[in-house]
Structure 1
Amino acid sequence: MRRSEFQRAVESEFGDRSDSLVADLSLSAFSGRTAAEALSAGVPPREVWLALCDQTDVPVPRRHGAGRLEPKRS
């Protein structure tokens, strides 16, 4: 997962709350760091996405493949 895919996944799942969740929610998987802090520390976006999903009880089927763009149709 790229950083841009992480952004799209968070925005798609959480809508208007996405910015505040990334900036303010302490993630137990990263010793209380926020998603933004974990990303800044070099944690891969996929790991941060999954930790955010765990912390906020996102159903498993919505966790995988999130953030990817739809393929272009020819």
Structure 2
Amino acid sequence: MRHTEFWSRMDDALGPSYARSWADMYVIGDLGGRTASEALAAGVPPKEVWESVWRVLELPATKR
């Protein structure tokens, strides 16, 4: 997964106006206590970050 696909999925899940804010503010334990944005900046693969976001948001399996 590329960063562009990650952000597209975030926009789909949370809406384009909220996705970036949420990714900047919501700390996820599975990502080492980092936000999605911090994890991406630290080099965590977007697919791994998305899997953590998917679990936190309790999205349906079709969104995985």
TM more than 0.5 = yes
Number of positions where the alignment pairs a residue of Structure 1 with one of Structure 2: 63
1:1-74 map, 5 Å? 1-15=1-15, 16-63=17-64
CA–CA separation in structure 2 for the residues paired with 1:56 and 1:32? 16
Which amino acid in 2 is paired with 1:4? T
Instruction: Please give the TM-score of this superposition, normalised by the length of structure 2.
Output: 0.90
What is the rounded CA distance, in whole Å, between the counterparts of 1:31 and 1:44 in structure 2? 14
Scaled by the length of structure 1, the TM-score of the pair is: 0.79
- The CA distance in 1 between the partners of 2:56 and 2:29, in whole Å, is 8
**CA RMSD, 1 decimal:** 0.9
- Once the two structures are TM-superposed, the CA of residue 56 in structure 1 deviates from its matched residue by 1.2
The structure with the largest strand share of the pair is 2
Highest CA radius of gyration, 1 or 2? 1
